[in-house]
Amino acid sequence: MLKSTGIVRKVDELGRVVIPIELRRTLGIGEKDALEIYVDGERIILKKYEPACIFSGNAEELIYFKGKMISKEVVKELIDLYNSMTNE
């Protein structure tokens, strides 16, 4: 469900839109924070980017591997899978 803030901003010549400080404070968005951009029909949705494991979606204990985030939990599962395959 969408909730209108009543705030309207124009897009500048470089395609930028300023998010008001009140909204950034409320949503915990700081300077240099990354935002994910989603499209839903004709809507553009911005969401604060929270890195997560590409397999489990877990955002805790992440390891950066070949450009992807993987949780330590998944790494352990992959090791177990590999070990079970090589011990046959």
**Per-residue pLDDT at 2:** 80
**Per-residue pLDDT at 72:** 94
What CATH number does the domain containing 24 carry?
Answer: 2.10.260.10
Q: Distance between CA atoms of 74 and 82, rounded to whole angstroms? A: 12
Amino acid at 65: F
Tell whether the model's pLDDT for residue 88 goes beyond 80: no
pLDDT digits (tens, 9 = 90+) for 46-56: 988 888 899 99
pTM, full prediction: 0.59
Q: Do 65 and 76 reside in the same domain of the chain?
A: yes
- Check: CB of residue 39 under 8 Å from CB of residue 52: no
Q: Using the 8-state DSSP alphabet, how is residue 82 labeled? A: H
What are φ and ψ of residue 26, in 5° steps? -60, -40
Q: Do 4 and 43 reside in the same domain of the chain?
A: yes
